[in-house]
Amino acid sequence: MVTLILFMALVMTGLILVQINSIQKSSRIREEQFDQTVRQILSQVVRRMEEHERVLLVEEELFSARQQDSSGVRLPSFGNLIPRSLQAANFSLSFSYSQTAQILQPLGNKQFTDSIISLQGTTRGRPGDFPSAFDKLHDYNLQQQRLLEQRLSDNFRLFQRLFYRSRPIEERIDVDFLTKTLGEEFAYQGINLDYRYAIKTFPAGQENTISESPDYKTIKRKKEYTHVLFPNDIYEIPNYLVVYFPKRSGYLLKATGIMVIPTFILTSLLIAIFAYTIYIIFKQKQLSQIKNDFINNMTHELKTPISTISLASQMLQDESISNTPKTISHISQVINQESKRLSYQVEKVLQTAVFNEGRLKLRFREFNLNELVKTVIDSFELRVKDKNGILETNLKATDSNIHGDEVHITNVVFNLLDNAFKYSNNTPEISVTTESSKGSVILSVRDKGIGISREHQDQIFERFYRVPTGNLHNVKGFGLGLSYVKKIVEAHNGKIIVDSAVNKGTKFSIYFPINNKNNHGTKSKTAVG
């Protein structure tokens, strides 16, 4: 059986370890997914911040250009410059001017796109005027060339501002836009979790906080997520966006709780079933031991009177023994006593069996408990005196009339006295008292015997249970007496209390209600075990 229990424990332990490992792995995967999502969000936020800065710079340059030249940059484009006839008296010169407007793609595209706005016109004149027209066009072309060079210079300056930034990071960070973008991206990814952020730089390995959200410093941080700001900057000390979630652990635990809670419940049930199985196994082993002890004790208890009766019968048949009236009377008395003893033991077993099946009839009537105790003591006192013991009585209950089954109450008192006698030392010292209490009369039986340890006090009222004494059989009995006592007391709406200490003795106190008649009347009652 021990091998089976060890094997079951090993299997259970392995199963629990597998469950724990599975939960840990699932939690780790969930944490990695969360970390990856946060990093993607920070990358997206940084990209949007960079694009936002480009748009602001381009708008600033365009606004500056409009202030310098409201007409924009004009580049000439010639078309249909064909004289109808150089020999003709009149000629017609057709040409067109095209206005170039730069349109920047602000969302990630770093190239510039030109769109052409054509302004067409016609100049008419004679052939002699043809050279002066080209002179005008030439002068205009030179003017536009100078404007083009100015625009290229402006574009180069814009390029420098975009990629060779020299502005302080404090001026480049739009805190409102950053806060708004973080909130939008977290909400889009389904992370509804409180967060704190800061802008940091690490010049020469020293941490320097440039900007931070409220309560960032007051919260103890364990896990921070960082991403470089403006990654396309050239020759600049990198700045970092740092984000921290104060309730990250609880969020991850809640996310994995959908799987953890059912697993925990099932594992707990499995452990409870395993523990209950072990309990049943040990209980069965204990019951088996109790059964064996009961059989041994019953054999011993029944065999002793049978052997005595058999021996007395043989003495009567032995011709060598004088058959005087005195001898015959003594042998007959022994046979009678042992027969009663045998009958009592058998009746005790049968009554206990009937009582536990709920078929025992209790006949209630009113009687005086003090008088009943005196009667039992008178018949029991001889056994105590045979061992030179002491049996003290102090029946001071003023109202000792109770309503109950007199026969079974007599058996209860006798069982308590018998226990006190059997578990006393060589010289028994027993005291019996009665006293009145509120609505009850208390019967107490005290001895100064071997006592009962605390670990066995809750079990002494179980059927067949006897306090372990090894293989010694100097104390006779079946382990049924106290079980019978408790069931009879409870059937009378009373209670029994034990107070004992090893080598100091034991005291049993029984509380019988005085007004028990109101509960039972005068008719019989079936006791249910």
What distance in Å separates the CA atoms of residue 152 and residue 217, rounded to the nearest whole number? 47
As for how many domains the chain has, the answer is 4
Which token pair is 34?
């969360």
CATH code of 507's domain: 3.30.565.10
**Count of alpha carbons within 13 angstroms of residue 157, beta-carbon side:** 13
Does residue 437 lie in a domain region?
yes
Residue 344 lies in a domain: no
In tens, the pLDDT along 213-222 reads 887 776 666 7
Average pLDDT (457-480) is 63
Closest CA to 30 of 254, 261, 267, 262: 254
Residues 82 and 100 placed together within one structural domain of the fold: yes
End-to-end CA distance of the chain: 32
Domain-embedded: residue 351 = no
Question: Per the domain annotation, does 64 fall within a domain?
Answer: no
| 120 and 241 housed in the same domain | no
At residue 473 the predicted structure's pLDDT band, cuts being 50, 70 and 90, is: very low
How far apart, in Å, are the Cα atoms of 25 and each of 22, 222, 251, 255, 260?
5, 21, 17, 14, 12
What pLDDT score does 128 carry?
53
HSE toward the beta carbon, residue 472, CA cutoff 13 A: 6
Verify that 139 and 204 share a domain, yes or no. no
Q: How much of the chain, in percent, has pLDDT values that exceed 70? A: 70
Mean pLDDT of the residues in the chain:
75
User: Which residue type is seen at 356?
Assistant: N
CA 360 – CA 525 distance, rounded (Å): 8
CA distance 214 to 198: 9
Residues 518 and 468 in one domain: yes
Q: What is the pLDDT of residues 73-127, one digit of tens each?
A: 444 443 343 444 434 444 444 444 444 444 344 434 444 444 443 444 444 555 5
Asked if 375 and 516 sit in the same domain, the reply is: yes
Q: Are residues 39 and 174 in the same domain?
A: yes
Instruction: Compute CA distances 362 → 67, 218, 485, 490, whole Å.
Output: 117, 77, 14, 12
Which residue bears the tokens 């990198």? 238
241: CB partners within 8 A, 6+ apart: 42, 45, 46, 178, 197, 198, 199, 226, 227, 228, 229
In a domain, 271, yes or no: yes
Final residue of a structural domain among 132, 163, 194: 163
Q: Is the predicted pLDDT of residue 142 greater than 70, yes or no?
A: yes
Within this chain, do residues 97 and 216 fall inside the same structural domain, yes or no? no
Burial class (CB in 10 A: 0-12, 13-18, 19+), 396: exposed
Which tokens is 426 given?
Answer: 């060589």
State residue 55 phi and psi, 5-degree precision: -60, -45
Asked if residue 348 is part of any domain, the answer here is no
Do 363 and 377 lie in one domain? The reply is yes
What confidence category does residue 527 fall into, taking pLDDT thresholds of 50, 70 and 90?
very low
Distance of alpha carbon 53 from alpha carbon 151, whole angstroms: 21
518 and 402 in one domain? Answer: yes
Q: Are residues 422 and 405 in the same domain?
A: yes
Return the minimum-mean-pLDDT range out of 123-132, 270-279, 303-312, 431-440: 123-132
Same domain, 288 and 432: no
**φ, ψ for residue 496, nearest 5 deg:** -125, 135
- Domain boundary, last residue among 118, 142, 163: 163
Distance CA 127, CA 134 (A): 12
77 in the same domain as 152: yes
End-of-domain residue from the set 117, 135, 163: 163
pLDDT digits (tens, 9 = 90+) for 329-353: 888 888 887 787 777 677 667 766 6
What pTM value is reported for the model?
Answer: 0.43
Q: What's the CA gap between 149 and 487, in Å, rounded?
A: 116
* pLDDT tens-digit series, residues 388-428: 889 999 999 888 899 998 888 988 998 899 888 888 877 89
Question: What are 56's two structure tokens?
Answer: 């602001």
Whether the pLDDT of residue 529 is over 90: the answer is: no
**62 within some domain:** no
Residue 399 included in any domain:
yes
Q: Which domain holds residue 92?
A: 69-163
pLDDT at 356: 60
